[in-house]
Amino acid sequence: MEHKDDMEPKEPKKEIKKTQPKKIILATDGSMPALMATKKAVELAVLMNTSIIAVAVEEDTPQMELEKREEELAEEQYRLIHVDGLKVAEEYAKQKGVKIETRNIVDGPIVGAILDVAKHEETAMIVLGNSGRSGWEKLSLGSVAESMVNHSTFPVLVTKVTTDGYEEDIRYLDDILSIAKSFPAEVKKAVEKVLEAPDIKGRLRFSLKYLALFLVPYFGLAGVNSLYKDFAMTEVFAGLSVAVVGAFLLYPIAWTLGLAFNKAYESKYEA
Amino acid sequence: MGSMIALILVVLMTALSIGIAIYSRRWTRTTAEFYVAGRKISWMENALALTGDYLSAASFLGVAGGICMLGIDKVWDALGYFGGYIVLLFLLAVPLRNLGKYTAAEIITTRFESKTLRVMAMAGTVVICGFYLVPQMLGAGALLQLLLDWDYLFAEIVVGVLIIVYVTLGGMRATTYNQMIQAVVLWGAMFCILMLTLSSFYGFNPVAILTTADGIIPPQLAANLLKDNPNTPNLEDMSAREVVDFVINNNPDATERGLTPGTFAPDWLNTFSLAMGIVFGTAGLPHILMRYYTVKRGKDARTSTLGVLASVGTFYIMSTFVGFAAMYLLYPDLVGLLLAGEASVAKNMAVPMMGELVGGEWLMGIACAGAFAAILSTVAGLIITATTSMTHDLYKMINPDASERKELMVAKSLTVVIGIAAIILALVLRGQNVSYLVTLAFGIAASTFFPVLSMCVWWRDYTRQGALATMIVGLIVSVAYVVAKLAGMTSLMGLPILVNPGLYSIPAAFIAGIVVSLLTDDRGNVDKFLAKAHTSE
């Protein structure tokens, strides 16, 4: 997060605080409820004569492709629309003459990340939409709005898109929705970089060298156990035979090789 | 040996693991704590999830179960399962992560655009997942048999239905966190069982476990010797020492002991085939390869794999000791069960039985509960991997306009089909050791995806036709020799049937791929593909 520079003398800083009104933190994920929050936040900023910091949090939890897809499908019914929340907020605020700053945070937890921004800013309040999840979905994903109300030390404004007054809500959101149309959520695609073909043969030699250092003792033990049974049964340590000691030795051998490989790989290919 | 406490623990653990898995996802969204350092521990999360994915019924029940039945030859299961991650780390972990694809089919078709290859990869995925799935069902069935004295058929049907419901209702969500929790439970349970065993019976001397086992004719061999012996006394009334001595004194010609190699893999052909099939299998398991998708960068792929090496390595060392301890401490029970025809319990339930012996019903319950939850989640992962592949790689090709929702629906209906097929196969293969069946799945994976993927990411002159030849030959040869083994045949096409197909099918797949590649020249998107595979972000 950004921190204010503390190099300035204390007195003038206080001056600045007095003249600068506290900001509104807007949390958006580009869904319909978030657009409602965006519109409210901008209206409030006009009334309060202040600026907005719009925050979007991308989650970064370990999930398999299918886990993600199932969750996204279930989310659709609550999102109603999927747009680039930060760009819409930026454009809408600009139209209404409100100063806005955007932050995209590439790590969850959603609530924690938003609160972290709020704590490091002169925050007046946090505005966010309520998805209206219920039942299973609320159980499994929880409610960001609810958690925000519980954890925030700042005032929190939660907006809603209601099913009863849906038509009315949509009419109210008309202007921001028309902006939203031009900012569909980007499907994240890895940037196709033109990559230089690395030295495959050298890398293969490097990998095979380490692999051989493991496979030779591994298959060596298999050979000893099956072809030289008398030797395999010879006692070597604490009454234990070559076959037994050999088996247990393979573990530390593998661990050592694994660590050595990792270290060598780092210095050779990632330096 | 029905146990109410154990049953309650199984039900609680199943519910709890689902509950924690659900809550964990919610927690990751709504907690107010914000750790800037959060990203740094992601490799640990992935290592735990990989461990949870990997430690299924085969590792938890089957490894110790096999060792206590047959002795040191079964230590290869543990060594191979562990060593497989070394192969994965050195050869494939980083390139696969860099490619950022998540099914074997996608990786192969990124280099070679070919529908035939895609369908072939789908077939491989389904076959491997199937062979991996059945032993899990078998393990679950044996657990219920042990806990509730249920009939095996009934137990299998209950497990099958439970799994179908679990997958179709719960689906894939939150499985990553679930796996992390299970890794901890299984590791912890094995640790407790070993520590209590050491303190109660061996004065904290692990070497004593091994030297004791060295003076025992392994139970499976003993049961064969006693089978036709009319003088066999009632084993239940005898101590372990008495039964061990009785078997040895009555069979002076039997020289095999717990630490004598050759009790399971009698010659070098069998030993090498087993060692090969397992160690190269990990790098070809579709549901393990898929897990690398959640790893962020190539560097994390390496560190996560190192984490897995530490956790599964220590786990298999503990399992080995528990298995050898069970060979002696449970000797009368194991031999008795085999003589009574309860092979599926005898060969797979040593770990829960050890839990009961050293820690009473509670520890047995925890062991059963952990095993059951691990089986459920592994089965879910396997079924989902298989159905994803079937819909993604086959259905999507037949019906390219299908929506995501439709695709998901097809996947869920396929779940039911696979579930029923698994129940039937589990009934056919009853009485086998769980880990043994999994080693067969490893053998097929080692012959199918390991050769094709390693040549794909490492060999410039590999061709589309070569890749196809690799997969066809690897899959057909390995499946043929597995089926022949299970059918009790002794030779096929002039070659003796071995305990694992690896010795034949892995070289066959490589040779087919190399020969065909040298004769053909469609190298696919070789430059772009190799550059991406070997350039870390």
A137 within domain boundaries: yes
Give tens-digit pLDDT for B494-536.
999 999 999 999 999 999 999 999 999 999 999 999 998 998 7
Residue B35: what pLDDT? 55
Say if A154 is an interface residue toward chain B (CB within 8 Å): no
Cα–Cα distance, B76 to B319 (Å, whole number): 12
Interface with chain B: mutation pick from A60, A65, A66, A119, highest number of B CBs within 10 Å: A66
Residue A195: what pLDDT? 64
Q: Do B45 and A62 touch (CB under 8 A)?
A: yes
CA-nearest of B397, B175, B128, B187 to A66 is B175
Token pair, residue B286, equals 């579709």
CB of B129 within 8 A of CB of B385? Answer: yes
Buried b (16+ CB within 10 A) or exposed e, B243-254: bbebbbeebeee
Strands A52-57 and A100-105 turn out to be parallel
Torsion of CA B3, B9, B14, B16, to 10 degrees: 170
Strands A123-130 and A23-27 turn out to be parallel
Task: Indicate the average pLDDT of chain A.
Answer: 84
In terms of domains, do A251 and A155 share one?
Answer: no
pLDDT at residue A249 tops 50? yes
Residue of B nearest to A62 (CA): B294
Cα–Cα distance, A207 to A265 (Å, whole number): 9
A81 within domain boundaries: yes
A253 within domain boundaries: yes
Cα–Cα distance, B342 to B344 (Å, whole number): 6
In terms of domains, do A208 and A168 share one?
Answer: no
| Residue A124, domain CATH | 3.40.50.620
Give tens-digit pLDDT for A67-80.
777 777 777 777 78
Q: What's the one-letter identity of residue B461?
A: D
Cα–Cα distance, A172 to A35 (Å, whole number): 11
Domain ranges of chain B: 4-28+52-533
Residue B143: what pLDDT? 85
A15 within domain boundaries: yes
A170 within domain boundaries: yes
Q: Read off the pLDDT of each residue in B271-294 and give the average, rounded to a whole number.
A: 91
Chain A partners within 8 Å of B98 (Cβ): none
Give tens-digit pLDDT for B310-327.
999 999 999 999 999 999
A174 min Cα distance to partner chain B (Å): 29
CB-count exposure of residue B238 (10 Å: 0-12, 13-18, 19+): middle
The tally of CA atoms less than 13 A away on the side-chain side of residue A76 is 8
Residue A190: what pLDDT? 53
DSSP string, A60-96: -----HHHHHHHHHHHHHHHS--B-HHHHHHHHHHHT
Cα–Cα distance, B397 to B118 (Å, whole number): 10
Chain B partners within 8 Å of A204 (Cβ): 458
Say if A167 is an interface residue toward chain B (CB within 8 Å): no
pLDDT at residue B435 tops 60? yes
Residue A66: what pLDDT? 67
**Percentage of residues in chain B having pLDDT higher than 90:** 50
Quote the strand ranges of chain A, DSSP E: 23-27, 52-57, 100-105, 123-130, 156-160, 235-237, 240-241
In terms of domains, do A47 and A155 share one?
Answer: yes
Q: Do A222 and B82 touch (CB under 8 A)?
A: no
The tally of CA atoms less than 13 A away on the side-chain side of residue B321 is 24
Residue of B nearest to A147 (CA): B30
In terms of domains, do A25 and A156 share one?
Answer: yes
Q: Do B75 and A247 touch (CB under 8 A)?
A: yes
| A contact residues 15-34, partner B, Cβ 8 Å cutoff | none
Cα–Cα distance, A164 to A212 (Å, whole number): 69
CATH of the domain spanning B4-28+52-533: 1.20.1730.10
Token pair, residue B156, equals 């299998």
CA-nearest of A206, A218, A200, A202 to A254 is A218
In terms of domains, do A135 and A259 share one?
Answer: no
A102 within domain boundaries: yes
| A contact residues 172-231, partner B, Cβ 8 Å cutoff | 190, 195-198, 200, 203-204, 207-208, 210-211, 214-215, 218-219, 221-223, 225-227, 229
CB of B435 within 8 A of CB of B66? Answer: yes
Select the more confidently predicted residue: B399 or B442: B442
Select the more confidently predicted residue: B91 or B419: B91
Q: Do B317 and A248 touch (CB under 8 A)?
A: yes
Interface with chain A: mutation pick from B90, B181, B304, highest number of A CBs within 10 Å: B90
Q: Do B25 and A218 touch (CB under 8 A)?
A: no
| C-alpha distance from residue A255 to each of A21, A259, B27, B310 (Å) | 59, 6, 34, 7
B372 min Cα distance to partner chain A (Å): 22
CA-nearest of A139, A179, A241 to A28 is A179
**Percentage of residues in chain A having pLDDT higher than 90:** 50
Question: Ranked by mean pLDDT, which of A8-12, A51-55, B417-421 comes out on top?
Answer: A51-55
Chain A partners within 8 Å of B92 (Cβ): none
Interface with chain A: mutation pick from B86, B287, B296, B302, highest number of A CBs within 10 Å: B86
Say if A142 is an interface residue toward chain B (CB within 8 Å): yes
In terms of domains, do A18 and A116 share one?
Answer: yes
Cα–Cα distance, B187 to B180 (Å, whole number): 11
Cα–Cα distance, B386 to B160 (Å, whole number): 16
Confidence of residue B171 (pLDDT cuts 50, 70, 90): low
Chain B partners within 8 Å of A143 (Cβ): 30
Cα–Cα distance, B89 to A215 (Å, whole number): 13
Q: If you search the block for the tokens 């693991």, which residue do you land on?
A: B17
Which residues form the domain of A238? 200-263
Q: Do B309 and A144 touch (CB under 8 A)?
A: no
Strands A123-130 and B495-496 turn out to be unpaired
In terms of domains, do A246 and A124 share one?
Answer: no
CA-nearest of B291, B212, B184, B265 to B503 is B265
Token pair, residue A222, equals 């298999």
Cα–Cα distance, B16 to A252 (Å, whole number): 35
Quote the strand ranges of B344-399, DSSP E: none
Chain A partners within 8 Å of B510 (Cβ): none
Q: H/E/C letters for each residue in A147-186?
A: HHHHHCCCCEEEEECCCCCHHHHHHHCHHHHHHHCCCECC
Give the closest of B32, B270, B531 to A112, CB-based: B32
Say if A265 is an interface residue toward chain B (CB within 8 Å): yes
Cα–Cα distance, B53 to B132 (Å, whole number): 12
Residue B20: what pLDDT? 67
CB of B201 within 8 A of CB of B195? Answer: no
Question: Ranked by mean pLDDT, which of A172-176, B310-314, B484-488 comes out on top?
Answer: B310-314
Residue A107: what pLDDT? 74
Residue B37: what pLDDT? 41
Residue of A nearest to B48 (CA): A62
Cα–Cα distance, B355 to B312 (Å, whole number): 20
Category of A127 on φ-ψ map: left (φ > 0), alpha (ψ -120 to 50) or beta: beta
CA R_g for chain B? 23
Q: Do A222 and B275 touch (CB under 8 A)?
A: yes
In terms of domains, do A227 and A111 share one?
Answer: no
Q: Which ipTM value was assigned to this complex? A: 0.93
Residue of A nearest to B32 (CA): A112
Token pair, residue B16, equals 């709890």
Sheet holding A123-130, edge to edge: A100-105, A52-57, A23-27, A123-130, A156-160
pLDDT at residue B353 tops 50? yes
Give tens-digit pLDDT for A3-32.
444 444 444 544 445 556 799 999 999 888
DSSP string, B70-120: H-GGGHHHHHHHHHHHHHIIIIIHHHHHHHT--SHHHHHHHHS--HHHHHH
Give the closest of A197, A244, A270 to B536, CB-based: A270
The tally of CA atoms less than 13 A away on the side-chain side of residue A162 is 6
**Residue after which a domain boundary falls, among A145, A180, A215:** A180
A2 within domain boundaries: no
Q: Do B34 and A109 touch (CB under 8 A)?
A: yes
B338 min Cα distance to partner chain A (Å): 26
CB-count exposure of residue B184 (10 Å: 0-12, 13-18, 19+): middle
Q: Do A211 and B527 touch (CB under 8 A)?
A: no
Give tens-digit pLDDT for B368-381.
888 888 888 788 88
Q: Do A254 and B83 touch (CB under 8 A)?
A: yes
Give tens-digit pLDDT for B17-62.
667 666 767 777 777 766 544 445 577 888 998 898 899 888 999 9
pLDDT at residue A105 tops 80? yes
Q: Read off the pLDDT of each residue in A141-169 and give the average, rounded to a whole number.
A: 85
Give the closest of B34, B259, B535 to A243, CB-based: B259
In terms of domains, do A99 and A157 share one?
Answer: yes
B293 min Cα distance to partner chain A (Å): 6
A vs B, Cβ pairs < 8 A, gives 223
CB of A89 within 8 A of CB of A27? Answer: no
Interface with chain A: mutation pick from B29, B85, B536, highest number of A CBs within 10 Å: B29
In terms of domains, do A148 and A241 share one?
Answer: no
Question: Ranked by mean pLDDT, which of A149-163, B34-48, B279-293, B441-455 comes out on top?
Answer: B441-455
Give the closest of B91, B214, B303 to A207, CB-based: B91
In terms of domains, do A111 and A244 share one?
Answer: no
A193 within domain boundaries: no
Chain B partners within 8 Å of A63 (Cβ): 176, 294
**Percentage of residues in chain B having pLDDT higher than 70:** 95
Q: Which residues pair with A126 in a beta bridge?
A: A25, A156
A94 min Cα distance to partner chain B (Å): 30
Number of structural domains chain A divides into: 2
CA-nearest of B176, B194, B191, B170 to B51 is B176
Give the closest of B91, B174, B275 to A219, CB-based: B275
In terms of domains, do A92 and A210 share one?
Answer: no
pLDDT at residue B464 tops 70? yes
Q: Do B535 and A195 touch (CB under 8 A)?
A: yes
Q: Do A115 and B32 touch (CB under 8 A)?
A: yes
Cα–Cα distance, B485 to B479 (Å, whole number): 10
